[in-house]
Amino acid sequence: MAGGDSHRKKKTGKQRLDKFYHLAKEQGYRARSAFKLLQLSQRFRLFEKSCASVVDLCAAPGGWLQVAAKHCPVATTIVGVDLVPIAPIRGVQTFTGDITTPQCAAKLRKLVK
């Protein structure tokens, strides 16, 4: 075979995914993007100050919501909204909605009060 590479198989599916995908699965996060929020949190100390509320727009599948639920004080109101339903996360309120509509904005305001 040309080049001697015939013994190598092409990576497919999950084999192709990067280390953060695998770390997320190992640590129970729904998305690899959770690590980006953790990185931002370390850099800007996002969770060192108490916050009254956290809102995640276009939140599915909920990786950032998981990070917020883990690192924010218990009294923090955490809300996630997306067009796609988000599986429940302890301490987090979610709903399905279109963030471009007045109805969604009104529901967010009501939940964050």
Find tokens 């192709």 and name the residue. Answer: 16
The whole-model pTM stands at 0.80
| Position 5 pLDDT exceeds 60 | no
Q: Cα separation of 55 and 66, whole Å?
A: 12
Element (H, E) at 95: strand 93-96
Q: Cα separation of 37 and 34, whole Å?
A: 5
Per-residue model confidence (pLDDT) at position 84: 98
Tens of pLDDT, residue by residue over 22-53, are: 888 899 999 999 999 999 999 998 887 778 99
58's CB contacts (< 8 A; 6+ apart) are: 81, 82, 83, 99
Per-residue model confidence (pLDDT) at position 92: 99
* Answer CATH for 16-112 from 3.40.720.10, 3.10.20.30, 3.40.50.620, 3.40.50.150: 3.40.50.150
Of the pLDDT bands very low, low, confident and very high (cuts 50, 70, 90), residue 4 is low
Q: Which residue type, as a one-letter code, is found at position 30?
A: R
| Position 2 pLDDT exceeds 70 | no
